[in-house]
């Protein structure tokens, strides 16, 4: 289980090990509601951000066991479908892991992994020791 910051507790996120990676699950509850029966865009973005950070952290730890400071340079979220009143899932993939910069793609879905409701590309500045 991944240790998550307090904002994750508000979203009630939890992570699962899936095929050697991490999957984040955000249950439906009042704190993630935007319009009635719809997910708030900020909750979706938060879910994607947690998936990206945790996946990058895991990749960095696998490299040499140390975790540099990770600072987001750019965050781009694409909302594809309206999130409904049900569990939402997210996973991320490290597309590039360089010495100073990492690029991570994250995607969120509800009913089918093949039909994402949102995607994100986050570029991180890595400050290695």
pLDDT computed for residue 127 by the predictor = 93
Topology of domain 6-127 in CATH is: Thiol Ester Dehydrase; Chain A (3.10.129)
User: What separation in angstroms does the CA of 1 have from each of 17, 38, 117?
Assistant: 8, 28, 25
Q: Is there a contact between 50 and 24 (Cβ–Cβ < 8 Å)?
A: yes
Neighbours of 27 (CB within 10 A): 12
For residue 36, give both structure tokens: 């009635």
pLDDT computed for residue 4 by the predictor = 65
pLDDT computed for residue 19 by the predictor = 87
Q: Euclidean distance between the first and final Cα of the chain, in Å?
A: 26
Q: What residues contact 19, with CB distance under 8 A and at least 6 apart?
A: none
* Tens of pLDDT, residue by residue, the chain (129 residues): 455 678 888 888 988 999 888 999 989 888 878 888 889 988 999 999 999 999 999 999 888 778 889 999 999 999 999 999 899 999 999 999 999 999 999 999 999 999 999 999 999 999 987
CA 119 to CA 76: how far, in whole Å?
Answer: 8
In this prediction the pTM is 0.90
């Amino acid at each position: 289980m991944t240790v998550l910051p307090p904002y994750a507790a508000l979203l009630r996120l939890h992570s699962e090990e899936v095929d050697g990676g991490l999957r984040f699950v955000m249950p439906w509850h009042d704190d993630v509601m935007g319009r009635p029966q719809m997910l708030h865009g900020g909750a979706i973005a938060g879910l994607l951000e947690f998936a990206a950070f945790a996946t990058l952290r895991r990749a960095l730890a696998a490299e040499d066991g140390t975790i540099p400071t990770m600072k987001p340079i750019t965050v781009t979220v694409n909302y594809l479908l309206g999130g409904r009143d049900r569990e939402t899932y997210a996973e991320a993939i490290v597309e590039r892991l360089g010495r100073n910069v990492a690029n991570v793609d994250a995607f969120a879905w509800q009913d089918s992994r093949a039909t994402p409701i949102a995607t994100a590309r986050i570029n991180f500045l890595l400050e290695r020791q």
